[in-house]
Structure 1
Amino acid sequence: MSIETDDVIILKGLAFYGYHGVMPEEGKVGCRFSVDVTCGLDLRAAAKSDDVDETISYEFIFNIVRDAFGEHRFKLLEALAQHIVDRLFEAHEEIDWVQIRVAKPEAPIPVVTGEFAVKLTRQRPDG
């Protein structure tokens, strides 16, 4: 991955309720999800100008993640994560790369503790 700067916007520990999963009951009852998303982009102009118009607002990124939970029911965390990445790339061409972690802390599997998660790192396809 070629990164011109190490600048990132990070949203961590976002909590959502969704109806994603392989099991039929997950589509009916739903469960909690946790999302961390990191967007790599050049933040030098925003850092210099102190102007929100020179960056991507955190709320904008949050809304894309939130909306993804209601747009489609995904069986796999991998597909949900990729959908969010695709939406971020479509919405903002300034984003060079995205790393996303989607976790399901209460998967319907008998486990004493822990969570199930996927983490994807994607560079903009046309970049």
Structure 2
Amino acid sequence: MDKITLSRMQFFGNHGVFPEENKLGQRFYVDVELVLPLDKPGRSDALEDTVNYGEVFFRVKDIVEGKTFKLIEALAENIASELLHHYTSINEVTVRVIKPHPPFAVLFDGVTVEINRKQA
């Protein structure tokens, strides 16, 4: 199946279990893979025959920057649900949320949650 992938979208959000995370916020990275047929837009060269990835970016931005979640698992689930609900041409979506600086004293580059959901 064909895919549209939006990689390393950067947003500032207030997600986390600790109150200071909700107050101060931090940067998050989000990857979204959309599985959908791209043969029709490939032939027609028409935006209305595909998913507008600029619009997808702003939908994800609204969720990451406009809501607060304790868990990045819940953030990923909300993004996947919104995209599948709004774009019925998407058969499947994979969402990766990366929290590059978790608030505890260990040395690693971050935490990533990846979920995969299919159209009902």
TM range (shorter): over 0.9
What CA RMSD, in Å, does the superposition of the two structures yield over aligned residues? 0.9
In structure 2, distance between residues paired with 1:11 and 1:19: 22
SS of residue matched to 2:82: helix
Give the corresponding residue for 1:8: 3
One-letter amino acid matched to 2:113: V
Amino acid at match of 1:62: F
User: Percentage identity across aligned positions?
Assistant: 38
Amino acid paired to 1:105: P
Tell me which residue corresponds to 2:15.
20
Report the Cα offset of residue 70 of structure 1: 3.1
**CA gap 1:123/1:87 in 2 versus in 1, 3 angstroms:** same
1:57 aligns with 2:52: yes
Q: Any gaps of 5 or more consecutive residues in structure 1?
A: 1-5
Say if 2:116 is the partner of 1:121. Answer: yes
Matches within 5 A, 1:1-127: 6-125=1-120
| Deviation of 1:109 (Å) | 1.2
Spell out, residue by residue over 1:9-51, the C-alpha distance to the aligned partner (whole angstroms, 9 max, x if none).
1000101110000011000000110000001001110001111
How many residues were matched structurally? 120
Runs of 4+ with deviation above 6 angstroms: none
- Give the TM-score normalised by the residue count of structure 1: 0.91
Distance (whole Å) between structure 2 residues aligned to residue 32 and residue 52 of structure 1: 31
| Aligned residues of 2:12 and 2:65 also touching (Cα < 8 A) | no
Tell me the TM-score normalised to structure 2 length.
Answer: 0.96
Residue 53 (structure 1) shift: 1.1
TM superposition shift of 1:111: 2.3
- Deviation at 1:69? 1.5
| Residues in 2 aligned to 1:111 and 1:44: alpha-carbon distance in whole angstroms | 46
